[in-house]
Amino acid sequence: MTSTEETPTTASPAARPAGRPRSAKAEKAIIDATLDMIGEGMGLFELSIEAIAARAGVGKTTIYRRWSSKEDLFVDAVATLKSPFPPPGGGSVRDDLIACMRVFQSDANDARSRCVMSIAMNEAERHPRLVGRIQQEAIEPRKAVVTALLRRGIATGELRADLDLAIAMATLVGTVMWYIRTTGDHSSPDLAERVVDQLLAGLGP
């Protein structure tokens, strides 16, 4: 008994690496297929697990092992479009805000990301719960990071004490997004720095 039980255990470390890349590859194919179909104009109603599986080249069971419904898959797929923020550098609030705005700039420059997010948010009337989940999974974490940076700036005296956090955050992020969309300037290397510095001149004490 002991020898038969030990044989699989001994072999398992060599076997595991072979399975993990295939699983990760399948998950990426499913996410990419979902995003491509949303980008082609499909909302939640038009999407089907069957169509996503066919586009991704996997079986339906492969999808259902990871997501219990197409709504769960829709939300997770959209959330992947949001690049992670770098960890705060711990220096000035200005530098950390610039780092965050560069992420917003990068995302705004991604054509598929812009298209998918626009379609996803247009689902609000038919699927308010879905959009609420997208807000919770993809947008609220970013808002929390920027809000925390602004609070830190108030605590350190880099920002004025009566700062309206919601307006300040909307002004920073909105300016980056508005600038790119209205000017078509997708490659300005110092856009985030210019936006932060310009606004800090009005937000500072």
Spatial distance between the Cα atoms of 56 and 47, rounded to a whole number of angstroms: 13
| Region of 59 on the Ramachandran plot (φ > 0 left; ψ -120 to 50 alpha; else beta) | beta
Contact in structure between 151 and 92 (CB atoms under 8 Å):
no
Convert the pLDDT of each residue in 7-60 to its tens digit: 444 444 444 444 444 578 999 999 999 999 988 888 888 889 999 999 999 999
First to last CA, the chain: 75
Spatial distance between the Cα atoms of 105 and 138, rounded to a whole number of angstroms: 16
Contact in structure between 159 and 150 (CB atoms under 8 Å):
yes
Specify the pLDDT at position 7.
Answer: 40
Walk me through the domains of the chain, giving residue ranges and CATH numbers. 2-79 (1.10.357.10), 93-203 (1.10.357.10)
Does this model's pTM top 0.85? My answer is no
